[in-house]
Structure 1
């Protein structure tokens, strides 16, 4: 793409901001404009070095594909925004169930009913007053409930299943997660459904009334395709795109939760879209637009059932990937570890040296390592127990240090031998070793081991240089010199 073309991005989420940042990094020197429907907090604005014009409070009202322009409404004024390249990053809209009392007659949410964004960050601002009911059993519901409880709010998590994340976890892990939430101050109410919003409460399907001054609906989201659909772009569950994130119009692209690959599948319940995938898509599209190159592995990936799910560590150390039935597929070997550390639990489905499915709870190093290995398509190390316990993989240490074949970085399979060689070649710090070998660039759990290795190698006496053999001189040349 011509680096001077005008790029217009519609949306104010993480995908829109990452795209604006990375366009500049990849050499784009044209104008970049972000139309944000809401006014974002200062922390969410793109970095000042990015040549982007951020237009907050600009509600898109129309898209003219022939004229290549978007119309928006801002402060009651209709504004035209021309573009050479348009990127739709409109995200997804929260789902609101058809339950009496949740909406007013005009369609707006009733007082005290909130449908927050699907990807919560750390809670900020004044917490709600009075008891709060969080409806849902997905990652967003768990995160909001946990954050509110940590701030002293009386909060109840209302789950339809037998335990939180019932569609993704086995029963044992689900029970551990419910216990962890209860210990953090969340009242977990399972197997119940919402029937009606009543004054200061919720009526449940068993006839009970749950006190709730505020109700947070965390029941997933649906891709926001209104602008694309009205303009005549092909739309399925999301805006249809090819492997380069391009729509049927060669000047219009879509990225993030609003996009759907033409050969892919997007579920109606859109609760588990991985923010890491969203950021990866934005970075890949930035490279495509700035350079014309398609990065390897940039095919649009969306939140289909079985995609990796990782809770924020402030909620619980939890990682899962795959579906429950993946553990019973032919040719799959199941590795289970329970009772490790503080209620640690892990269950892996492995075919050969590839991860098929996993449920890991309470094992932070294993969570980080497995998430990294799966995301980058890496092979599992042969020592599965060390992987799950977060230990170096390989033979035991000798009196003078670890054996050379000991794997210190499980994520990138970097051995002590490789690290020692990089150290001798001049990489004398942890960042330098990371740049030379890739160690610590996965989950970061081996940083301490690398620090100790640098210290031990620095204190060790230098290895003597290999002896050079000098060719023997002929016998006559070794005779003592005679005095003249």
Structure 2
């Protein structure tokens, strides 16, 4: 079976990995418009902050069985002939075509942005992140337009680089897709503590420029906010042009069923470009789950046979983490505002003036939602309870109070003291035992571990834990792990 994958981002590369693992004999060709190896787009803010280098963002690349053409874009699909035409003139035939074209940065329709003056940068790709990082060396003041997760991460990154930063958000409050007003107020307190100015509920009226370079924003009341660097973090637009030109059903994204099939049974779509019936969360975990399901379909040779919608009810794909130095924000599942009376119980501890807000939502004896601002240890416990669906106390208040007992904050437990069954990388479900087995099979660096287990390739929140475990193993504990233990365990299983 000839499979062509258009797009080599986080979801496209995961699909290829899943497919080759299930169907080693598949003839797979990947067309990636960007010239890079696949990289972790979630950590672009870390790159802007200077906390990681580009090599640290690299994701495991496809093995030699896959034909990867980087820097080659697909420009047309001939559905009748089942071919894809590339921008270099090549024509690639397929039995199954997968569109993983992702999304592009949304540029608001603001006067002064079309065309954009110098100093205006969207943030979506590795090239965008490089441009923003380079601009830091020649700029003093920065404004980030957009108060969602990415906007706040880059604002914190720019402040960390010594810039005077402000966030402008048109919505009623920061992170309004994930947080209610009280939680957002706590978050705003944390931002102001870091020296970041915040303007919410006031969409700008125009972008100002002087001498061809951005100089500020003007608001409807005439107020102006000066800047010499403007970063656009105003959302994304699914890349559907290729699909629409081919006559596929397109809404906001490419319309797909539960297995990723489009209106053409030989063409599929996954990731940010797809529009499934349940809606798109914009989170990479949802795209990874789509890739897993589609790989199973393709491995069964079902490229031309539509299949019923399947859902992995146990997969928690809606955990959102704000990755910013000095801020701790984690949300998942339902919030109190979205609960149904009589079916859910919500308990919250809110002290916005100190930058702390914690809420847990319980139903059926399990955590079905939580919001944590400025409460790292509590967030870790609630995330574990939510993703594992572990039973909770009869009084859910204990979920909030237990971690803050005593005279001060309790340190998070060292990964070296965790049992082997404990999950270290929640994005990919990697346990400590799997990491130790990877060490036994020869993985000695974070990159080795990422290739062997996928740990650290999601939100990056487990990177310190993985590095600590590797240091611990290298310091002598690794001598207790027999070489090849992973392969032996797999054979025994």
Match of 2:23 among 24, 27, 33: 27
Specify which structure has the bigger relative contact order, considering alpha-carbon pairs within 8 angstroms and separated by 6 or more residues. Answer: 2
Total equivalences in the alignment: 396
| Bigger radius of gyration among the two | 1
Alignment of 1:2-41 (within 5 A): 5-40=1-36
The TM-score normalised by the length of structure 2 is: 0.69
CA distance in 2, matches of 1:387, 1:53: 50
Match of 1:238 among 253, 264, 273: 253
CA distance in 1, matches of 2:256, 2:314: 8
Alignment of 1:303-452 (within 5 A): 307-312=318-323, 314=325, 316-320=327-331, 321-322=333-334, 325-327=337-339, 329-338=341-350, 343-375=355-387, 379-382=391-394, 384-385=396-397, 387-388=399-400, 391=403, 431=433
Unpaired runs of at least 5, structure 2: 38-54, 210-214, 406-417, 424-430, 438-460, 478-493
CA distance in 2, matches of 1:220, 1:300: 28
Q: Is the 8 A contact 1:134 1:144 kept in 2?
A: yes
Which residue is 2:120 aligned to? 113
Go from structure 1 to structure 2 and tell me whether the alpha carbon gap of 1:298 and 1:254 turns closer, same or farther (over 3 Å shift). farther
Alignment of 1:130-279 (within 5 A): 130=139, 131-199=141-209, 200-261=215-276, 263-265=277-279, 273-279=282-288
Task: Identify the structure with the greater helix proportion.
Answer: 2
CA RMSD of aligned residues (A): 4.2
Q: Please give the per-residue CA displacement for 1:8-42, whole angstroms capped at 9, x wherever unaligned.
A: 11113200111122222223322322211222257
Q: Is the 8 A contact 2:358 2:373 kept in 1?
A: yes
CA distance in 2, matches of 1:14, 1:353: 35
Which sits farther off after the overlay, 21-30 or 78-87? 21-30
Structure 1 residue ranges, 4+ long, deviating more than 3 angstroms after superposition: 41-46, 118-125, 263-266, 291-303, 327-331, 354-357, 368-393, 407-412, 432-435, 443-448
Q: Is the 8 A contact 2:157 2:324 kept in 1?
A: no
Which residue is 1:425 aligned to? none
Q: SS in structure 1 opposite 2:311? A: coil
Deviation at 1:125, TM superposition (A): 4.5
CA distance in 1, matches of 2:71, 2:432: 45
CA distance in 1, matches of 2:297, 2:324: 33
